[in-house]
Chain A
Amino acid sequence: MTDDPTLDLFGDEAARSEAPDTPPTSAPEPRVWSVSQVNRAVRALLESAVDALWVGGEVANWTRARSGHCYFTLKDDRAQLRCVMWRTEAERLPTDPDEGMQVRVFGTLTLYEARGEYQMSVKSLEAEGAEGLWRLAFEKLRRKLEGEGLLEPARKRPLPRFPDTVGVVTSPSGAALHDILTVLRRRAPWVRVLVRGARVQGEGAAEEIARALTALGASGACDVIIVGRGGGSLEDLWAFNLEPVARAIAASPVPIVSAVGHEVDITISDLVADLRSPTPSAAAEAVAPDGSVLRAQMRDVPERLARGLRGTVARRRDVLREELARLGRDLERRLAPARQAVDLGVARLERGVVRLVERRRQRLSALTGRLEALSPLAILARGYAVATTEEGRVLRRVEDFPPGRTFMLRVGDGSVSAESRGPVAEKAPEEKA
């Protein structure tokens, strides 16, 4: 029996030590194996006989123990297979699969001796479709953050237009940093870049990125922070899909620009950030204004200022002019009644004077009439004449005119010189020279 290969499987000390005692017994006692021996032998048989293999099925009763090991059942419509995934492997899963999820697992068959149950020791587990479980993990975290309102568009802060200091969280030796610095050097060399290095993939990368973000935020030095890395596989980018990074971004005191991988890669980090840029270079462009444009704008500013100043002065001058004109009109308006009064007064005065003059004139002409009536000239004008001596004494009687006497004869329009030829016989009652 010792040459039976199956016996070897049952093992070591017990089997070997007992084997030599048994053969010569006449009444053959049945060989009794302990349970441990049997299970150990079956386990060895199973493990050596079956190579590692892929098994596809539906996940049931998934439990992740406190130890970190995961236990579940893989089943199809007719059968079940107990599975275990040890902590080291289980930790690499992006998330736990959902109940009933179609997966395929890779591992080896073994036997759990304590229970005598055969099971599969799973090294890796993939959901149907290459990204199944990653997608699931992504969606789970996305829903969770969404539920907390951390993805709300209203939470997105505008980037500063002219940052003095740009924080960068990425691998210090990565292509992303190089790309960011190249763009900033070209566009905005006056800015200061403050880098906080972090491993961006592998175990603990998410925590490192989160700590770097927190440190830059707490420094108070940055106006905006770029977090990201260059392209890579889904697994390489995975740190940016983990909760610590999401939380650190959401808690940042300054706006965060997330730039992970290439255009097509969208991460949780992108969703929580204030701005998602497709690449690190694009993030640098989003963060810094174009220096040449800015300098061109600055050149126009002094002229605009001067124009503003001139405008203000001109407007003041116009206002003053307008005020002066209004003042003039106002004065005019206030003085108008007075001026009217004056005009009226003058008119009345004039009328008074006219009346006065008229009255005087009337009186004068009345007097003149009377005077004229009294004037001897008026009588003379009617044809009478007055004789006077040359001295002006009036000659009234005949005896005043001896022959040869010269005298003045005054008539209506003047005087003539005359000579008497003596008295005339009384033929006519009146005489005239």
Chain B
Amino acid sequence: MTDPVEKKVAKAPEGQDPAEPTTLEARLRRLEEIMSQLEADEVDVERALALFEEGVRHVRAAEKILSETELRVEELLSSGKVRPLDTGEQDGGGA
């Protein structure tokens, strides 16, 4: 059971702008941007509403990522493939 190396864990959830960030780092960074924009007074109401909705989407997605409880441990093989690494501990190997 090997997968080619994939760049990031999180895939874009259903029905979402593909340009929207999907990694936790990117989402949280975007959230900070959104909050500072909302707290500045340059935004018009229409835009503020769009930002608010986008922000809520990021919060939901980030919470989903953070609710993951099983550490996924994999091994990078010399072939460039990845396979779950059995660490002899109860992590089930992820994937």
Q: Are A302 and B25 in contact (CB-based, < 8 A)? A: no
Q: Are A309 and B48 in contact (CB-based, < 8 A)? A: yes
Interface residue from B41, B71, B78 paired with A312 (Cβ < 8 Å) = B41
Chain B residues near A295 (CB, 8 Å)?
Answer: 63, 66
- In the complex, whether A52 has a CB less than 8 A from a CB of chain B is no
Chain A residues near B87 (CB, 8 Å)?
Answer: 177-178, 181
Contact A301/B25 with A195-B85, A308-B52 known, Cβ cut-off 8 Å: no
Least CB distance from B64 to A in Å reads 9
Per-residue interface assignment for chain B, residues 47 to 74, with 1 indicating a CB less than 8 Å from any chain A CB and 0 otherwise: 0110110011001001101111111111
- In the complex, whether A184 has a CB less than 8 A from a CB of chain B is yes
Per-residue interface assignment for chain A, residues 170 to 182, with 1 indicating a CB less than 8 Å from any chain B CB and 0 otherwise: 0010000110010
Q: Are A189 and B68 in contact (CB-based, < 8 A)? A: yes
Number of B residues whose C-beta is below 8 Å from A? 49
Least CB distance from B36 to A in Å reads 9
Q: Are B28 and A162 in contact (CB-based, < 8 A)? A: yes
Per-residue interface assignment for chain A, residues 215 to 246, with 1 indicating a CB less than 8 Å from any chain B CB and 0 otherwise: 11001110100000000000000000000000
Chain B residues near A196 (CB, 8 Å)?
Answer: 75-76
Beta-carbon nearest neighbor of B70 in chain A? A189
- In the complex, whether B1 has a CB less than 8 A from a CB of chain A is no
Beta-carbon nearest neighbor of B36 in chain A? A308
Q: Are A195 and B35 in contact (CB-based, < 8 A)? A: no
- In the complex, whether A384 has a CB less than 8 A from a CB of chain B is no
Q: Are B74 and A311 in contact (CB-based, < 8 A)? A: no
Chain B residues near A219 (CB, 8 Å)?
Answer: 5, 76, 80
Q: Are A164 and B89 in contact (CB-based, < 8 A)? A: no
Contacting residues of chain A (362-392) with chain B, CB-CB under 8 angstroms: none
| A interface SS class | helix
Beta-carbon nearest neighbor of A163 in chain B? B25
Least CB distance from A296 to B in Å reads 10
Contact A215/B52 with A181-B91, A294-B66, A295-B63 known, Cβ cut-off 8 Å: no
Per-residue interface assignment for chain A, residues 295 to 310, with 1 indicating a CB less than 8 Å from any chain B CB and 0 otherwise: 1001001101110110
Q: Are A192 and B5 in contact (CB-based, < 8 A)? A: no
Chain B residues near A194 (CB, 8 Å)?
Answer: 74-76, 82
Interface residue from A195, A197, A312 paired with B48 (Cβ < 8 Å) = A312
Cα distance, A190 to B34, chains bound together (Å): 24
- In the complex, whether A360 has a CB less than 8 A from a CB of chain B is no
Cα distance, A54 to B85, chains bound together (Å): 49
Least CB distance from B30 to A in Å reads 12
A-B contact pairs, 23 of them (CB 8 A): A160-B25, A172-B75, A177-B87, A184-B71, A185-B71, A185-B91, A190-B24, A190-B66, A193-B72, A194-B76, A220-B7, A221-B6, A294-B66, A298-B66, A301-B31, A305-B34, A305-B35, A305-B51, A305-B52, A308-B37, A309-B48, A312-B41, A312-B43
Beyond A189-B71, A193-B72, A312-B44, 4 extra complex contacts between A and B, CB < 8 Å: A177-B87, A193-B73, A221-B5, A294-B66
Query: Which residues of A pack against B, CB within 8 Å?
Result: 160-165, 167, 172, 177-178, 181, 184-185, 189-197, 215-216, 219-221, 223, 291, 294-295, 298, 301-302, 304-306, 308-309, 311-313, 315-316
